[in-house]
Amino acid sequence: MTSAVDADADGERRNVSDAAGVAVLGACASWSLVTAAVHDGRPEGVLLAVLAVAAGFAAGRILGVLLPVAGLCAGALAGLTLTVARPRLGPGPETVAPLGHAGATAAVLTLSAGAACCAAWAASVPVVRLGLSLLAAGIAVAGVFVGSTTAVVTCCAVLLCSLAAGRTRRRGPALAALAVAAALVMGLVWAVAGDVLSGGLAESLADRLTPHRVDLWRDALGMAHREAGLGVGPGRFGELSGTAARSTLPDGKPHSAPLQLAAEQGVVGVLLLSAAFCWVLFALWRAPRPTPVVLTAGAALTALAAVAAIGNALSFTAVSVGAGLLAGLATARPLAEEPPAPEARPECDRDLRHDGRPAA
């Protein structure tokens, strides 16, 4: 009787998170159409990104139900193969360090490392678990060979967070900490664009990010100030940015997802982007999978958010699909009962329900 009640409650919680996701993604698509209609913009890029995330999430949920470990492993291998076989994930100008080609390589490798770590936590056979852990470490090393310093940093951060996740008792505070970390990165980007930092820190950040990128950010922030309500219209940043016009290889983007939405879709666009990220964390909090799997996926997606805040990673369909796929895999409910977590997990989860709340 208790298990039936718990199953019904779990299904109700998942319905709530799924409904929230549909509402948020639908609002993102609708708002891009509204702002495009007002300013004669081009919403195709936003619509494609929303569709890619939704498709990846749906595919991840299906794979997570049928193949909870193999699906994660396949996702990790697919991302690694994609970046090694095709380091430039799409056409367009080369973006200077530290982000590699528009941050897309770093983003895909980060998601791949997160998927491998999640698979390692979900596996029940020690040899398989060890092999998947080595795969995750190998993905971080692959960042060196493809020339992406950011990929190495973010993959190592995901690995460390995954290790810490095995000893985390409550997933709620941990996911809240990830949200705060993403907000801090966004705030730092805003501070650099607004030129509110002073001294050596501002100069150091400008050197690492390159003056050209900082100038693009300032153009985007200026547009956001002038058109705070509706923005200048999706896809119109390149037309109105003086810095982009002077570039020898313009791609029409400010290389920052929050600043691009602020410039092209106004304050509402930024709020919807934040709502989409919060929805993913909310879905992970409600997910029935073990806490280490959930927190590792959350760490990888937070690292992706950080990369997207200082680059145009979300402009690549492969990245959007990968983000949705990892979120779907980490929030699926497998048909078969998952085994007890290895080593530290029994101690961490024995007093918790799958949603991170105290057991009755």
pLDDT tens by residue, 261-279: 999 999 999 999 999 999 9
Amino acid symbol at 235:
G
Tokens found for residue 297: 């996926």
Pull the structure tokens for residue 233: 């219209």
- pLDDT tens digits, one per residue of 312-339: 888 889 999 999 999 999 999 888 766 6
Distance CA 80, CA 316 (A): 16
pLDDT at 338: 62
Secondary structure class of 89 (helix, strand, coil): coil
Q: What gap in Å lies between CA 77 and CA 298, rounded to an integer?
A: 19
Task: Return the minimum-mean-pLDDT range out of 16-20, 103-107, 111-115, 354-358.
Answer: 354-358
Q: Is the distance from CB of 267 to CB of 228 less than 8 angstroms?
A: yes
Task: Locate 220 and state its tokens.
Answer: 């985007």
- Tell me the domain boundaries of the chain: 42-349
Q: What does the DSSP assignment read for 227-277?
A: TTTT-S-TT-HHHH-HHHHH-SS--S--S-HHHHHHHHHHHHHHHHHHHHH
DSSP 358: B
User: How high is the pLDDT of residue 83?
Assistant: 87
Gyration radius from the chain CA atoms:
20
Structure tokens at 107: 């983003």
CA–CA gap between residue 60 and residue 72 (Å, rounded):
9
Q: Does position 250 have pLDDT exceeding 70, yes or no?
A: no
How far is 52 from 46, CA to CA, in rounded Å? 10
